[in-house]
Amino acid sequence: MNWIAIAVTFKLALLTAALLLIVGLPIAYWLTFSKWRWKFIVESVVALPLVLPPTVLGFYILVAIGPHSPVGRFYSNVVGHPLPFTFEGLLLASILYSLPFAVQPFVAAFEQVDRRLIEASWTLGVSKFKTFFRLIVPLSTAGLITGAVLSFAHTLGEFGVVLMVGGNIEGETRTVSIDIYDEVQALNYAGAAKTALLLLAVSYSVLLLVYAMNRKVWAVWPQR
């Protein structure tokens, strides 16, 4: 089994989930509480990675961060090397790719919080910021964990995006799913089977955790 690829994958998935908690919270807050008429436009953008083919997303990211784009040139001038085909580039791509998997459960959780509690907090003079962290977040813990865990699991299995912006570099951008693909091409079916089984086991355990935790709060299956 390729432990380097496994370590890279878990590092990528953990970082993606952690950063999505940071980036996703304000987006989800805004999506839940904004009364803006055109909010649905932003909602559609956030949900886009759910339906967009990963190769399309990967292609756009590659063009956007490559050495021919202003963003890519800026990055390589500051950091000293180009962004595509590096771990950081892959991380950026994963965050965009898994955005709806974090933001949508966050929004669902925020919507469950009793509006009266939030408004009571506001009228008692607690700032919106403090209300968010001391009331809304604690009441949405299960949804936040669900979002983090789903984006973690989604990143584990990422393939098309990694293929486009990763470049298959050992210890850097060769993830488990790419490693399985490589092993099959090297006709090493036994190696591929072992790694595939590990990925299956982890993915299933993650989903078990999510469903066990969310029997009441947030469920993919409709509640009966």
Partner 1 sequence: MIRIIIALCMFVITGVNLAAAEELTIAAASDLNFAFREIMTEYEKASGNHVRLALGSSGNFYAQIQNGAPFDLYFSADIAYPRKLGEAGLTLPGSLYQYAVGRIVLWTGNESHIDVTQGFETLREPTVKKIAIANPKHAPYGRAAVAAMEYFKVYDQVKDKLILGENISQAAQFIESGACDIGIIALSLAVAPVMKSKGTYWEIPADAHPPIEQGAVILMGGKNQESAKAFLSFIQGAEGQTIMKRYGFVVPSPR
The contact set with partner 1 (CB under 8 A) reads 4, 7-8, 10-11, 14-15, 17-19, 21-22, 62, 66-68, 72, 76, 81-87, 133, 137-138, 141, 144, 167-172, 174, 182, 184-187
Distance of closest approach, residue 22 Cβ to partner 1, in angstroms: 7
Q: How many residues does the chain have?
A: 224
Which residue lies nearer to partner 1 by CB, 33 or 87?
A: 87
Token pair 């099959």 in the structure block, residue: 184
Q: What is the Cα–Cα distance from 124 to 3, expressed in whole angstroms?
A: 54
Q: Do residues 148 and 17 touch, judged by C-beta distance below 8 A?
A: yes
Distance of closest approach, residue 204 Cβ to partner 1, in angstroms: 22
Distance of closest approach, residue 148 Cβ to partner 1, in angstroms: 9
Which residue lies nearer to partner 1 by CB, 47 or 206?
A: 206
Q: What is the Cα gyration radius of the chain?
A: 20
Shortest CA distance to 96 belongs to which of 51, 55, 48? 48
Token pair 């393939």 in the structure block, residue: 159
Distance of closest approach, residue 88 Cβ to partner 1, in angstroms: 11
Distance of closest approach, residue 142 Cβ to partner 1, in angstroms: 11
Q: What is the Cα–Cα distance from 71 to 63, expressed in whole angstroms?
A: 10
Which residue lies nearer to partner 1 by CB, 43 or 182?
A: 182
Read off the tokens for 37: 């008429």
Which residue lies nearer to partner 1 by CB, 96 or 221?
A: 96
Which residue lies nearer to partner 1 by CB, 47 or 194?
A: 194
Could you give the angle at the alpha carbon of 100 between the alpha carbons of 74 and 143, nearest 5°? Answer: 125
Could you give the angle at the alpha carbon of 52 between the alpha carbons of 50 and 55, nearest 5°? Answer: 125
